[in-house]
Structure 1
Amino acid sequence: MSTIVIDQSVLRCVGVVLAGGQATRMQGKNKALQQYKGQPLYRYVFDAMQEVGLSLKMNVNSDQERFMEKGVDVFPDDKRFNSCGPLSGVATGLSLYKEKYTHVVFSPCDTPLVPSSVFALLVEKSKSRPQSAFYIETSSGAQPLHAVLPIAVLDQLITFLNGKQYRVMAFYKAIGAESIYWNDETLFKNINYLKELV
């Protein structure tokens, strides 16, 4: 793996909320917009990331105008990365913001219990070791979409996807991403079904 050199004094992070999936388990409804305890599901992660001072974007492939009406800056998957699963949004985010930022902090839209301290930890890890990628791990295993990646891994990700490889953890292994242990796995509960919104 080639060495990535990033000047710590110019570390610049942007937050990307991943909401580009097809939500097949939500009966085709846009998961991010479903109401959960009084507000849209995506809003919990959005607000938690905002609390640590991140500029925020959302990876959205449908109902974009509904997010824009709420003042959210959205982007769809780049056509180059269609049908790559979650890595579609990751690759698009890294590609879109490579001129302005050094790192992207990612989170899925469907984990409303994740606190801002998780994102603060990811940012702090990047400050201490800006050349590395980090993701959260709990006692139940990896939480790979709660992560921070240097923009500089984009070329490696494109090569990975061009090889018809789409598994997030396989990519992390390829770039030597490191896990950060979080001891409360209940905070990473995913909302995948309509019945869980009650």
Structure 2
Amino acid sequence: MQQPLGVILAGGLATRMGGGDKGLLPLGGGTLLSHVMDRLEPQVAGLALNANGDAERFAALGLPVLPDPVEGFVGPLAGVLAGLDWAAAQGAEAVVSVAADTPFFPCDLVPRLMLAAEGMEHPLVLARTPDGRQPTFGLWPTALRDDLRAALEGGLRKVVMWTDGHGGREAMFNAPGAPFFNVNTPEDLAHAQALVEAAT
């Protein structure tokens, strides 16, 4: 299987942070998004950002900005679909999605998702921890993008309902700490800052 492309999901409304672009909040010497980019970029063949609204606010990142192809802020699957359409236009077989507010995800996320997908006709794998599935961290096949589009247009919103319906697998991550800790509140951001400072 060829190296997948990567898409960072930043299309949500960030209501618990008071709105705005959560990924542009400062963290360490950069932003939440810059930490996510630094983790994902070495693992994929190319990178894009799923975000809605004026793309110019992300111009400094130098990434393609992909709006949701389904209107109405219907959730992370719309961002996955945006990534799949972008990847398919480049002849890619799959994309890996990550959340823009989760700066400490595993540095071996992509190879472990790919390992779990071995032998699948259409590589479809979600990350899992002992606490449950991580539905915004997954490996998705471009071959199923039209099926996903039809499901979204038909009202489907739950990630796992779609992945389970297509025989999706899981890749288990048992790393100590909370590698999929995500920043939802100002308190979470302060905790993330403390983690960054402790690691430097």
TM-score by length of 2: 0.86
Rounded Cα–Cα distance in structure 1 between residues aligned with 2:40 and 2:93:
17
1:4 corresponds to which residue?
none
2:6 aligned counterpart, secondary structure: strand
For 1:145, which of 121, 131, 136 is the aligned residue? 136
Unaligned runs of 5+ in 2: 191-200
In the alignment, is residue 173 of structure 1 matched against residue 164 of structure 2? yes
1:192 corresponds to which residue?
184
In the alignment, is residue 16 of structure 1 matched against residue 24 of structure 2? no
Q: CA RMSD in A?
A: 1.8
Unaligned runs of 5+ in 1: 1-7
State the Cα distance separating 1:175 from its structure 2 match. 1.0
| Identity level (%) | 31
Instruction: Say whether the 8 Å CA contact 2:116–2:170 is kept in structure 1.
Output: no
State the Cα distance separating 1:81 from its structure 2 match. 4.5
Structure 1 outlier segments of 4+, above 6 Å: none
Instruction: Say whether the 8 Å CA contact 1:105–1:123 is kept in structure 2.
Output: no
Rounded Cα–Cα distance in structure 2 between residues aligned with 1:66 and 1:145:
23
State the Cα distance separating 1:119 from its structure 2 match. 2.0
Instruction: Say whether the 8 Å CA contact 1:105–1:149 is kept in structure 2.
Output: yes
Query: C-alpha deviations, 1:37-82, integer Å up to 9, x for none?
Result: 221101122111112243100001145223212322212112x343
2:8 aligned counterpart, secondary structure: strand
Query: What letter matches 2:58 in structure 1?
Result: F
1:161 corresponds to which residue?
152
In the alignment, is residue 110 of structure 1 matched against residue 101 of structure 2? yes
2:85 corresponds to which residue?
95
2:43 aligned counterpart, secondary structure: coil
In the alignment, is residue 37 of structure 1 matched against residue 37 of structure 2? no
Count of matched residue positions in the alignment of Structure 1 and Structure 2: 188
